[in-house]
Amino acid sequence: MNEQKEVCAFINCNIIDGRFESNMINEGVMLVENVDGIGKIKSLGNKMEVGIPKDCKVFDLKNKYVVPGLIDAHVHLFGDGNPFTEEGVKRTPDENLEFMKSSLGKYLLEENMKKNAMAALHAGVTTFRSVGDPLYYDIEVKNEMKNGGQIGPDMLCAGPMICITGGHGYKLVSEASDSPWEGRKKVREHVYKGTDLIKIASTGGVTDSRKIGEAGRVQMTYDEIAAVCDEAHRAGLLVASHCQSTRGLKEALRAGVDTIEHGASMDDEIIELFKHNPKSLRGYSALIPTFAPAIYTSEISTEYTKLDDVQFANGRIIRDEMTKGFKTAIDEGIKVGLGTDAAMPFVTHYNTWRELQLQVKYGGALNAQAIYFATKSNSEILGIDKEVGTLEPGKFADFVILDGNPLEDLNCFEKPLMVVKRGNIIDNTREYIIPEVEKFVK
């Protein structure tokens, strides 16, 4: 069979290649070569450096801005960001689980998950990592979309989280393990099911806390975390840990987790472990902060979030702790990425760009830093930096075209002019916007 080859030229644009240390390319040209529907960057530079081949399709971008596709390192596909409902909150975990396992429940959930994945892509998120979804449905959705020939975002899927009995996400998005060997068995099941990473809940969380201070309570023991990390690393998988207290961070890092999700204040030992972590897969660990859920659950009235007073109070503790941890990480040069926790109330899959804004507003990051965390840094943390994360020859043509310069104003991410995934242009749509949510997060 003959290969189908086609070259497209994106001309007359300002290119932010995402390498951070490089300057913006003005009057830029980017050539994308599509082979059998998969586009890679062939070359890029200013118009004096890159010639436009004959017979190629030309897109005149009229002086607009091109940035690498966003990467969201922390989402859950099961929810779309709509606030919790009164009925939903009343259902027991067992009732929920039973429904999700039923054929109707499975169908509805998986359709919703596909919709959420596409909502992310249309908003310029070309890659994300699902870090805790029920019953391996995230893997099924990923495979169905791929096998159906649908152009979707790249998904790295963790399957269900591993927690202790009664721990964070228990029976909803997490499966229980209560000893090092049970943990190893869970990891082996995950590897068998084809997960791309392992996600654990080593401490408690806000949404299922019942006492003040419980959100960051250490749940998995050091031995349990270390066993999971060892088993996952033997299979070459990274371990991400939901972790919301200083003690939790210390235990998880000592035991070898590769990413701390959310975070909390850090002491010297924690800072050192992030930078040099002998038990991690790659010798260092990274922080994936998620400002959106912390800010929204602590600043939107419980009338709308449906959190109870204890959860609301815990939300504020976690928000302050996470913010401190983020600032320390930036000051100390710890590897930092970006995640949203999409699926939490008011955190949608299409508002990933707002997390960049929150890192700036609450965490003191610069626009350029936030863009870097969401692109190059995330690609390195997730281990996909050879394929995506920056615009360089040989990498996949995953990028977003914006009306304005995001280094000056991140708001231009709200309505991308064009999203390109693997060289394919994703049609523009606003159909995923949830007006109920927008009222609160603007």
Q: Cβ of residue 185: shortest distance to Zn ion, in angstroms?
A: 23
Q: Which amino acid, residue 119?
A: A
CA count, 13 A, side-chain hemisphere, 311: 18
- State the residue number with the nearest CB to Zn ion: 341
Q: Identify any residues that bridge with 127 across adjacent strands, giving them in sequence order.
A: 71, 154
CB of 285 to Zn ion, least distance (A): 17
Closest separation between CB of residue 205 and Zn ion, Å? 8
Of 10 and 170, nearer to Zn ion (C-beta) is 170
- Judged by CB, which is closer to Zn ion: 154, or 341? 341
Residue 245, both tokens: 């207290």
| Residue recorded with tokens 């019942």 | 210
Shortest gap between Cβ of 55 and Zn ion (angstroms)? 48
Q: What are phi and psi of 33, to 5 degrees?
A: -105, 120
Token code pair at residue 150: 């649908």
* Residue closer to Zn ion (CB basis): 112 or 424: 112
> Nearer to Zn ion by C-beta: 120 or 419?
120
- Nearer residue to Zn ion within complex by CB, 196 or 341: 341
Judged by the rule CB under 5 A, the positions of this chain that interact with Zn ion are 341
Q: How far is the CB of 437 from Zn ion (least distance, A)?
A: 17
Length of the chain equals: 442
Cβ–Cβ contacts within 10 Å for residue 309, how many? 9
H or E segment and range at residue 142: helix 137-147
* Smallest distance, Zn ion to C-beta of residue 308, A: 19
When the beta carbons of 214 and 341 are compared against Zn ion, the nearer one is 341
* Full DSSP string of 219-247: -S-HHHHHHHHHHHHHTT--EEEEE-SHH
Cβ(202)–Cβ(252) below 8 Å: yes
- Tell me whether residue 110 or residue 208 sits nearer to Zn ion (CB atom): 208
CA proximity to 399, closest of 413, 381, 382, 409:
413
| Main-chain phi, psi angles of 367, to 5 degrees | -50, -45
Using alpha carbons only, what angle is made at residue 362 by residues 356 and 364, rounded to the nearest 5 degrees?
Answer: 80
State which residue, 74 or 279, has the beta carbon closest to Zn ion.
Answer: 74
Alpha carbon separation from 371 to 188, 218, 328, 330, 379 (Å, rounded)? 35, 32, 19, 14, 12
Question: Which of 190, 158, 168 has its CA nearest to residue 73?
Answer: 158
Q: How far is the CB of 132 from Zn ion (least distance, A)?
A: 6
Report how far residue 407's alpha carbon sits from residue 362's, in angstroms, rounded to the nearest whole number: 17
Task: Say which residue the tokens 């390195």 belong to.
Answer: 380
**Whole-number Å distance between alpha carbons of 245 and 220:** 13
Q: How far is the CB of 211 from Zn ion (least distance, A)?
A: 21
Rounded to the nearest whole angstrom, what is the least distance from the CB of residue 401 to Zn ion in the complex?
A: 30
* Residue 261 token pair: 């999700």
d(CA 180, CA 236): 19
Q: How far is the CB of 341 from Zn ion (least distance, A)?
A: 4
Contact in structure between 33 and 45 (CB atoms under 8 Å): no
CB of residue 40 to Zn ion, shortest distance in Å: 32
Nearest CB to Zn ion, comparing residues 169 and 423: 169
Distance CA 10, CA 214 (A): 52
Question: Residue 61 or 288: which CB sits closer to Zn ion?
Answer: 288
Biggest distance spanned by C-alpha atoms of the chain: 68
| Residue among 251 and 341 whose Cβ is closer to Zn ion | 341
User: What letter represents residue 311's amino acid?
Assistant: Q
